Amino acid sequence: MDKFEKLSGIAAPMPLINIDTDMIIPKQFLKTIKRSGLGVNLFDEMRYDDNGNEIPDFVLNKPAYREAEIIIAGDNFGCGSSREHAPWAIKDFGIKCVIAPSFADIFFNNCFKNGILPIVLPQEQVDVLMKDAEKGANARMEVDLEAQTITTSDGETFAFEVDAFRKHCLLNGLDDIGLTLEKKAAIDSYESTAAQARPWV
């Protein structure tokens, strides 16, 4: 998993509330167990018409937001079924941070496990960030995980809270496998001792 330290990127405004996981990645794309290749179908039913053509008015189809790395969203982002493909699709598209007034719990937890930083802020602060994002590609926001701050293109700064353990994992690029490998020396020592004590196993 890539380390998340500081991000300076374009933010896409998505003011809808209750964006659920089926909107993020529709059910017909859940057949794969690979984490790559899902970005092209992120928000598929909002991005494309029935013939597979892009819908020009959808925010991520607009030239200013095609390279967005941040989403500013409405309340209850990631609600619905607990599909891990949702953060996979977001990450594969190139989104590294989602900011909203609230998230569904399972989606929120899955984001951290996949190297995405979900940030909860009060609605009034999200409104400021939403307006800043509406300025387009020239308005870049900065997210500093170490300092736990978000800075708008105008220099206004907001602080955010993040669990210390999850922060450690993101800063060091540690998913569940990475966390286990941090204990490799202890695991190897245990296995060696166990093999000597029970050679028949």
Buried b (16+ CB within 10 A) or exposed e, 25-57: bbeebbeeeeeeebeebbbbebbbeeeeeeeee
Asked whether residue 27 is domain-assigned, the answer is yes
Asked whether residue 12 is domain-assigned, the answer is yes
Task: Give me the helix-helix angle, 105-113 and 85-93, nearest 10°.
Answer: 50
Tell which residue, 68, 80, 76, has the closest CA to residue 12. Answer: 68
Express each pLDDT in 112-123 by its tens digit. Answer: 999 999 999 999
Containing structural domain, residue 146: 6-173
Asked whether residue 133 is domain-assigned, the answer is yes
Asked whether residue 190 is domain-assigned, the answer is no
Position 138 scores a pLDDT of: 85
Residue 78: give its domain's CATH number. 3.20.19.10
Asked whether residue 194 is domain-assigned, the answer is no
The per-type count for the chain, helices as H runs and strands as E runs, is: 8, 7
CB of 117 closer than 8 Å to CB of 144: no
Tell me which DSSP letter residue 20 carries. Answer: B
Position 83 scores a pLDDT of: 86
Asked whether residue 102 is domain-assigned, the answer is yes
pLDDT tens by residue, the chain, 201 residues: 889 999 999 999 999 999 999 999 999 888 777 778 899 999 999 999 999 999 999 999 999 999 999 999 999 999 998 888 999 999 999 999 999 999 999 999 999 999 999 999 999 999 999 999 999 988 899 999 999 999 999 999 999 999 999 999 999 998 766 666 666 677 767 677 767 778 776
Q: Count structural domains, the chain.
A: 1
Asked whether residue 93 is domain-assigned, the answer is yes
Asked whether residue 157 is domain-assigned, the answer is yes
SS3 34: coil
Tell which residue, 11, 199, 5, 47, has the closest CA to residue 121. Answer: 11
- Which residues make beta-bridge pairs with 93? none
Q: Which amino acid is at 143?
A: V
Position 179 scores a pLDDT of: 64
Tell which residue, 51, 87, 55, has the closest CA to residue 71. Answer: 87
The tokens describing 1, both together, are: 């998993």
CB of 78 closer than 8 Å to CB of 103: yes
